[in-house]
Structure 1
Amino acid sequence: VIVEAEHRKVRMGDNVTLSCALKSPMDVLQVTWQKDSEESRVNIATYSKLNGLKIHKPYEDRMNFTSLELNRTSITFWDTRMDDSGCYKCLFNAYPLGPISGDTCLSVFGLNASVHYNISEDHLIAICHADGLPEPTITWTNLFNSTPTQTTIKRKNGVVSITSQLEIHNIQSISAQDLTCRVSNTNEKIELPVKVKGEEGSSLLWLVIIVVILVVVIVLIMLFWRRPTCRRS
């Protein structure tokens, strides 16, 4: 088997095609694509003239065969995700030789991140999580005299997951501008501010106060403008 693209690289969200071709024509009954997972190899797509094509879950809506020749096979991913990264095997079930296989790998470069917090016993715990390829880094704009703890998981497909946890005891010192999680790798940067609900409520209260003051001012202006008019009439 000749693998036409041994290692494809693509940005997250783009389309990409993986291909395999036999060096010489054979009597192929079925073509199967498999993906190496963390623990095993799973079927993701099969095609034969007898049974047609089948795309397995969870790929039905974002992957399909783009070549239905039995001696040459191609699959295309739409809107790629980072978890599409990994190695794939194409299996040609040929008669009378049996299965003939080739391997190709895919790297989907990207960065996903999220931040959330919990308040317990008058202290705040902020947790920032990032998945990236290449490996991401996490920093905080303000540590508030605390030291964050960090865990790193390097997955088989190359994607690295990092979680940073910051515990802050002086909640009153935090504002939306004071605490931000910064996530980056060699390709992208993301900033995620920590917005405490108390601050959102305070902002809403000030907005209500300003609206009430404006309404009162408008009413007073209208009353003042109407009084001379009433006297003349």
Structure 2
Amino acid sequence: MFLTEMGLGALLLFFNSLGVFQKGLTDVIRTQQTVMAAEGDEVLLNCELMQHKDVVKVIWWKILLKWMKNLISYHKIYGQDVNPAFKDKVEFTDVGLQNSSIFIRNVTEEDEGCYLCLFNIDPGDDLEATTCLQLYELHEPVLHVRESGSEETVVSCSATGRPAPTVTLTVLRDNVHFPGNSSVSVNNTNGTVTVTSTAVLTRLHHMDTEVRCAVRVLSAPQKEEVRMIPAEGSHEDSGTEITRFTIITTLSVVLVVCCVAAVITVLLIRRHMNSRTQRDSEEIMVSPKTTEHTRETEKPVMHQDNKQLRKRTPPEKREGSENPEPLPENCRKLL
């Protein structure tokens, strides 16, 4: 669960009341009280002794509600020792006995909380200090611009984060900054908070307006979005240019389509004419051969019919016969 600043403070007071932390060590050990990180980041925690001490061992602990968990340690004789449960999670970046730094990979909600660095000193009392890791969540800002009337423009910027983000909305006009007029916060079911800042602007017809929205969570890096609101005349000019561009584009497309259609039509007509010419030439070439073949076929048939007719016709009835055969004697007597 993400801890707020108040939650971290309460946790520190709780352990101080139990005597876990020693007082008056801020001048002896230098460390960062709170380290901010987003989920998935890599974090460096550091403790440095400001006075030279004979340190035997340095130990890093994770502070839990009822007890502490040993993460990693370094002994001046036996070297470093890492808790097997954190072997791929935590490592030393500086294994010195006067300055100790650990590196935490891919931080998650389970890594959030306070860590204690302890210096074993011989002879003397041990020295210890705490540094707390706090995760944050911050989404990109969303900037909205809308016209509420003929002479007014409403500008709003929203940001969602954990804990509640700070949203700063500024309007730059004639090099003068105008802050946002109002701010509203909404608590979401997942623990994040959405903050919206709004400004109502009087529209100017002769100049552009720059709107800038900056969002931040605690000391985490700031995120920003900038937008330029054109003057009213610029809107009209822009609309005219868009209309001209649209008309030119449409005419160009129509012209191209017409040219393509004309080319396709010409190609189809030529193809049809070539096909017809080729078909006519083939008919002309085939006709003489067919006539000659017909004559050659019919001629032998006529000769054959004449031969058969001659065979059937008696010799006395054949036309053109000059020497008919004599009649038999019986036929002559009757005559």
Provide TM-score, normalisation by structure 2.
0.34
Q: Which has the higher contact order (CA 8 A, sep 6+)?
A: 1
Provide TM-score, normalisation by structure 1.
0.48
Q: Say which structure is richer in strand.
A: 1
